[in-house]
Chain A
Amino acid sequence: MPDCQRLTTDGLQALLDALRARGYRVIGPTLHDQAIVYDDIHTLDDLPAGWTDEQEAGHYRLTRRRDAALFGYAVGPHSWKRFLHPPVQRLWRARHEDDEIIVVAEPAEATRVALLGVRACELHAIAIQDRVLLGGDYRDGHYQARRRDNFIVAVNCAEAGGTCFCASMDTGPQAQHGFDLVLTELVGDGEHRFLVEAGTPEGREVLAELPASPASDAEIAAAEALLAATAASMGREMAAGDVRELLLANLEHPRWDDVASRCLTCGNCTMVCPTCFCTSEADSSDLTGTETSRSRHWDSCFTMDFSYLHGGSVRASGRARYRQWMTHKLATWHDQFGTSGCVGCGRCITWCPVGIDITEEVRAIRETRDGAPT
C-alpha cells in the first residue's frame, strides 16, 4: 500500500464536506427499516455506526457491534444500480396536437453523485454494467449520463458476510481498481481511523484537501492482515473456473427440476443482484389522449411475461426460468460480455425467501454432473 494516508473520523467528515463542496450529492449506507440501504449522506451521523449484519440463506438481521465501526457490515439489499440504472426511467413523451405528433426524448439526467462505501464486489458489478450498457454498438444514454460524473469512495471489507463469496469470484474483498479513493477502516485500541489511497487524479486532488497524515507501517500491516482475514473467512465459496462449461454441458440436469420445486419465481434474486440489468417498457397516455409516453422499468427473467410470445411464454416452467437466470449469470454472460455476470456478493442468497443458494446449486450440479441422477 504505497502512498497510504491516514484519516481520523473528523478527516472522514472533511471528505464528505469536500465532496459536497465539489458539487457531489453523496450517497452511502444508512439504516432504514432494519436494513442497511443506500441513501443521501450529509454527515457521518447518517452512517450506520456500530451496526453489523448477520446474513445466511434467506436470512438478514442487523445486530449491534461492540465497536463504533462505520462500515462494519457487508452489502445490504440495495446496490448502486438503483442510482446508476434506476428502477424506473422515462424514455420519451409525445405531444399529440391536431394531426401532429411530436416525440421528445427524455433528457439524460446528468447527476454529480459520489458513491460512498462501495465494496470491491460492487466495483466489479459497476464495471460489468458499464460493459453491458455502454460497451455495445448501442449505448444507454441515461446510464451514460449517470455514470459520467461519479466520484467513487470504495471501502475494503473488514469482515465477510455469511453469504459472501467474492474471494472465489476474484472480485474482492480488496478494491483493486475503479475507485477514486479507497478506505480501510481500522477500529480498536481506542482509536478509529481510516487508511486512504487514491486511485485517480481527482481522488489525489480531493485527498490533498483533507487533514490526512501518512499511515504508519504498523497501520498498513494491520490493514493487510485484516483483508487477508476477510478473504479467509468467506461465508460461501464457488469453484468458478469451469462453471460456464459445467452448466452448458448440464442444461438438462435433474437438479433444475429440484431447484424449481423450491423456487417461488418471485424474482427477488434479480432485483437485489447488482449486475442484473433487464428492463421492460410500458406505454401510457393521459386521459385526454394529448400526451403519451414510454417508461422502462426493471424486469426479471422470473416473470411469465418476460419471454412471452403470442400464444405463451417461451420459459413457462420455473425450471426453465431458474435455469435461464443462473446460466445467464454464470455461463452465457461470458459469451455475451467476456466476463462472469456474478461478483459473489451473496445478495441473491440472503434475499431469497426460501434460501436458494447459487453456490449450492452449482455444487449440486458439479457433484452429479452430466445429468447423473442425484
Chain B
Amino acid sequence: MAARPDRAPPGDPLTPRVVRVLKRRRDAPRTVTLDIAADDATAFQPGQFNMLTAFGVGEVPISLSGDPADTNRRVHTIRAVGPVSSALARLAPGDALGLRGPFGSGWPMAAAHGHDVVLIAGGLGLAPLRPALYRLLAERQRYGTIALLYGTRSPDEILFRRELAAWQRRHDIRIGVTVDHAPSDWTGHVGVVTRLIPGLALDPANTLAFVCGPEVMMRFTIAALKEAGLGDAAIHLSLERNMKCAVGLCGHCQFGPVFVCRDGPVLCHDRLGGLLGLKEL
C-alpha cells in the first residue's frame, strides 16, 4: 500500500547529476542538514531517498528530509559515520556533489486521508518522517489526530530542535520526545520511545503508524503498536539495507523477497510476513 511513482523518471538512472549545496546547518554532533539547489522541479514523495555522491569517495542513500512542497531545494540530513557520509557532511555552500533520484516508495499519505496518523521515529529515523509531517500539517484538515513520538540517545542528539519546539506549541499535533540517557537538567521523558505509545490512547481501527528507526527499535515498536490494537496493514516501516544502485539492479538491498530500494524503503508490515523477526535475513 506504500505510495510508489508510476514510472521510472527518464534519463540514465546510474549517472549522477551535479548539484550544489546552498546551505549547511549543524543539527547535532556529527550531523548536518544540507539544502541542495534543485536542478529540476521534480516533486518527491515523503519517505523517498536520493543517492548522493561525494566525487572520488563514493555514493550512499540519504533520505529526503525537507518539505515536499518546496521544489527549489532538496534537503538532506546526514550523519557522518564513515568515508562517504563524512565527505558529504563536510560540504560547504557552493560545493558540488552528485545526485541520483528520487528513488523508492513513500509513506502512504493519501491512504491516510481521514485517519489518525502516528509517526514514530528513532534517532536519525526522524529525517525521512519529517517530509510526512510537513505534508500532514500542510493538509491538516484531511487527517484526524496527528502525533509524533521521537526517541533519541541523548538531548544533544535531538534533531530539528527549533521546529520540534514550534510543533510542540501547536494544539493540532501531539509531540512526545524521549531520550535514552539524560543529564540532570533534562525535564522530558527518559526511556525507549515505545513507552510513549500507551499514553496516546490510539484508536486502533482508525490509525496508521509510520515508523522509522534502527531495526531493533522498529521490532519493539511493532510489538507495542500491535499491543495497542493496530493490525499489520496499519503499520508502515522504512527499512534500511546496503544499497549500491537504488534501481533494482545490484541485488544488495534484498530483504527476503523484497528489494528495499525498489519495493521500499517504505513497506507495509503485512507485506513482510514476519520476516523482520528473523535474525540476519
Contacts and interface: CB of A to CB of B under 8 A. Distances in A.
Contacts of B279: 320
A284 interface: yes
Interface string A265-284: 00000000000011111111
Interface stretch (B131-139, B198-206, B248-256): B248-256
A301 to B, nearest CB: 7
B244 interface: yes
A296 B280 CA distance: 25
Interface in B87-132: 96, 98
A96 B55 CA distance: 9
B249 A138 contact: yes
A147 to B, nearest CB: 14
Interface string B63-82: 00000000000000000011
Nearest to B273: A248
Interface stretch (B15-23, B35-43, B145-153, B222-230): B15-23
Interface stretch (B6-14, B154-162, B164-172, B183-191): B6-14
B262 A292 contact: no
B53 interface: yes
Contacts of A319: 280
Interface residues on chain A, size class: 35 or more
B29 interface: no
Interface string B237-281: 000111011011111101011010010000000000000001111
Contacts of B59: 281, 283, 294
Interface string A300-314: 010001111110001
A320 B280 CA distance: 6
B56 A289 contact: yes
B56 A283 contact: yes
Interface in A245-263: 251-252
Given A96-B55, A137-B8, A292-B55, A309 B242 contact: yes
A359 to B, nearest CB: 23
Contacts of A105: 12, 14-15
B246 to A, nearest CB: 9
B57 interface: yes
B17 A137 contact: no
B124 to A, nearest CB: 10
A136 B257 contact: no
A136 B250 contact: no
B239 to A, nearest CB: 11
A314 B241 contact: yes
Interface string A336-368: 100000000000000000000000000000000
A335 interface: yes
A236 interface: no
B197 to A, nearest CB: 26
Contact of A138 (B8, B98, B252): B8
B278 A283 contact: no
Interface residues on chain B, size class: 35 or more
Contacts of B7: 137
A182 B240 CA distance: 46
Contacts, number: 121
Chain B interface SS verdict (over half): loop
B15 A280 contact: no
A374 to B, nearest CB: 20
Interface in B187-218: none
A6 interface: no
A234 interface: no
A224 interface: no
Contacts of B252: 278, 280, 299, 306-307
A306 B242 contact: yes
A332 B280 contact: no
B247 A284 contact: no
Contact of A280 (B55, B241, B244, B248): B244
Contacts of A140: 249
A332 B55 CA distance: 35
Contacts of B251: 277-279, 299, 301
A324 to B, nearest CB: 7
Contacts of A132: 249
Contacts of B262: 136-137
Contact of A299 (B16, B81, B248, B250): B250
Given A103-B15, A105-B15, A281 B53 contact: no
A229 interface: no
B13 to A, nearest CB: 5
Contacts of A315: 280-281
A283 B59 CA distance: 8
Contacts of A278: 250-252
A317 interface: yes
Contacts of A283: 53, 55-59
Contacts of A285: 55-56
A347 B81 CA distance: 40
Contact of B16 (A103, A141, A301): A103
B280 A138 contact: no
Given A137-B7, A283-B56, A292-B56, A307 B17 contact: no
A141 B55 contact: no
28 contacts: A96-B55, A101-B55, A105-B14, A132-B249, A133-B249, A136-B247, A136-B248, A136-B249, A138-B8, A138-B248, A251-B281, A278-B252, A279-B250, A279-B251, A280-B244, A282-B58, A283-B55, A283-B58, A289-B56, A299-B250, A301-B251, A307-B242, A308-B242, A314-B242, A314-B281, A320-B280, A336-B257, A336-B259
Given A299-B251, A320-B281, A332-B257, 20 more contacts: A91-B14, A101-B98, A103-B15, A136-B247, A137-B8, A137-B247, A137-B262, A138-B247, A138-B249, A277-B249, A277-B251, A280-B252, A281-B250, A282-B58, A283-B53, A285-B56, A294-B53, A296-B244, A314-B242, A316-B280
